[in-house]
């Protein structure tokens, strides 16, 4: 099985980066099902990198249908320690314009139909999530985006909605009144599951529209999003290449030990089947017989 230290979750064409070598496609079956699609693994500047198309090739999966648990578990199985998500978002802040990039630092969860934890069924854990994105990785991605020449903003709040329909104008205005900066459909539960898997997680939010609140601009459409994402794909590739080349060998954040104080259930009462299912995540914290 090939190994990777950093992963990119986004569109299916992102792995086509100049300098990528030893490329292979991997089918992954996990205890949480199959991944969105085959994972493309290769070397970029000597660093193992994995690419996973979140919605499947050809964009077949609704945001609600994405197998988030399987995706994060599979990347953990490959040795991934850092994930960069490429997400399309609508702006709720006039200062953040279409075609700008945002590296968010906060989240509001408005999803309701998605499995958002690996735990349950006899094993309880409560991860710290006050800082939902890894500060170290977010800073690295921000600097890489800045150096690429992109118009990028550091910090902001993203509200994640269930979809697949876009917001009503009343919802859009409500989120603006909360001080939310952008709205999307996929950063959650990815961020929560990545934290449970002790993987650093950061997002490059590609602003494609003004949602539907701005009277001076057309309301968001799927066609608008796809068109603007295509315009940004080369920039995203450049940022990824810069970021991968700057990743430190060792992590200096708390993401790597997020479960160290989170597991509540005593090992001796954990169901054997569930303990085995979660061994990849919790095994190092359980007393060995």
When pLDDT is averaged across residues 235-261 and rounded to a whole number, the result is 96
Considering only CA atoms, which of 199, 110, 114, 235 is closest in space to residue 161? 110
Distance between CA atoms of residues 135 and 140, nearest Å = 9
* Residue range 127-183, pLDDT digits in tens: 999 999 999 999 999 999 999 999 999 999 999 999 999 999 999 999 999 999 999
Cβ of 101: how many Cβ atoms within 10 Å?
Answer: 26
Asked if residues 104 and 190 have their Cβ atoms less than 8 Å apart, the reply is: no
Q: How much of the chain is helix, strand and coil, in % rounded to 5?
A: 30, 25, 45
Active site residue 37: no
Q: Over the chain, what is the mean pLDDT? A: 95
CA distances from 220 to 25, 188, 208 (A): 34, 21, 8
101-103 and 39-44 beta bridge pairing = unpaired
Q: Which of 165-174, 216-225, 277-286 has the lowest mean pLDDT?
A: 216-225
Pick the catalytic residue from 211, 218, 234, 252: 211
Q: Which of 160, 150, 164, 142 is nearest to 233 (CA)?
A: 150
Task: Give dist(CA 62, CA 60) in Å, integer.
Answer: 7
Structure confidence at residue 113 (pLDDT): 98
- Does residue 289 carry a pLDDT above 50? no
Distance of CA 225 to the CA centre of its chain: 18
Report the share of the chain in percent with pLDDT over 90. Answer: 88
Domains and CATH numbers, the chain: 6-285 (3.40.50.1580)
Backbone phi, psi, residue 7, to 5°:
-130, 150
Q: pLDDT category, 12, cuts 50, 70, 90?
A: low
Angle between helices 68-77 and 187-196 (to 10 degrees): 40
Cα Dmax for the chain:
66
- What is the predicted pLDDT for the residue at 277? 98
Please tell me whether residue 171 adopts helix, strand or coil conformation.
helix
Strand ranges inside the chain, DSSP E: 6-10, 20-26, 29-30, 33-34, 39-44, 47-53, 82-91, 101-103, 106-110, 152-154, 157-161, 182-184, 200-209
Q: Could you tell me if 224 and 88 are in contact, meaning their C-beta atoms sit under 8 angstroms apart? A: no
**211 is known as an active-site residue:** yes
pLDDT at 17: 87
- Comparing C-alpha atoms, which of 175, 179, 183, 195 is closest to residue 63? 183
Residue 35, SS3 per DSSP? coil
The whole-model pTM stands at 0.96
Rounded to whole angstroms, the Cα distance separating 41 from 198 reads 20
Q: Is the pLDDT of residue 60 over 50?
A: yes
Instruction: List all residues 6 or more positions away from 188 whose beta carbon is below 8 Å from its beta carbon.
Output: 107, 109, 111, 114, 116, 160
Is 11 a residue whose pLDDT tops 80? Answer: no
The answer to whether the CB of 265 falls within 8 A of the CB of 122 is yes
- Give the pLDDT of residue 217: 87
pLDDT at 139: 98
Residue 288 binned pLDDT confidence (cut-offs 50, 70, 90) = low
C-alpha–C-alpha distance, residues 182 and 176, integer Å? 9
Give the pLDDT confidence score for residue 145 in this predicted structure: 98
Choosing from 105, 209, 268, 289, which is the catalytic residue? 209
pLDDT 10s digits, 65-106: 999 999 999 999 999 999 999 999 999 999 999 999 999 999
């Amino acid at each position: 099985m090939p190994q990777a230290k950093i992963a990119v979750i986004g569109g299916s064409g992102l792995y086509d980066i100049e300098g990528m070598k030893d490329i292979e496609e991997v089918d992954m079956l996990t205890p949480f099902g199959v991944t969105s699609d085959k994972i493309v693994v290769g070397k970029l500047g000597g660093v193992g990198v994995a690419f996973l198309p979140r919605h499947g090739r050809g964009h077949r999966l609704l945001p609600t249908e994405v197998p988030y648990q399987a995706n994060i578990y599979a990347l953990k199985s490959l040795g991934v320690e850092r994930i960069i998500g490429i997400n399309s978002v609508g702006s709720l802040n006039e200062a953040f314009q279409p075609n700008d990039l945002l590296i968010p630092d906060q989240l509001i969860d408005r999803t309701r139909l998605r499995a958002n934890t690996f735990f349950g069924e006899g094993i309880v854990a409560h991860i710290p999530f006050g800082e939902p994105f890894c500060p170290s990785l977010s800073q690295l991605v921000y600097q890489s985006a800045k150096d690429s020449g992109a118009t990028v903003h550091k910090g902001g709040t993203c509200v994640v909605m269930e979809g697949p329909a876009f917001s009503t104008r009343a919802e859009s205005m409500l989120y603006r009144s909360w001080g939310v900066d952008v709205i999307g459909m996929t950063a959650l539960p990815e961020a929560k599951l990545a934290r449970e898997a002790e993987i650093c997680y950061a997002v490059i939010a590609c602003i494609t529209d003004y949602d539907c609140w701005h009277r001076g601009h057309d309301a968001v459409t799927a066609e608008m999003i796809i068109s603007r994402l295509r315009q940004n794909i080369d920039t995203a590739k450049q940022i990824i290449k810069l970021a991968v080349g700057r990743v430190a060998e060792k992590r200096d954040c708390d993401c790597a030990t997020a479960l160290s104080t989170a597991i509540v259930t005593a090992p001796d009462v954990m169901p054997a089947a569930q303990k085995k299912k979660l061994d990849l995540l919790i095994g190092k914290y359980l007393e060995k017989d």
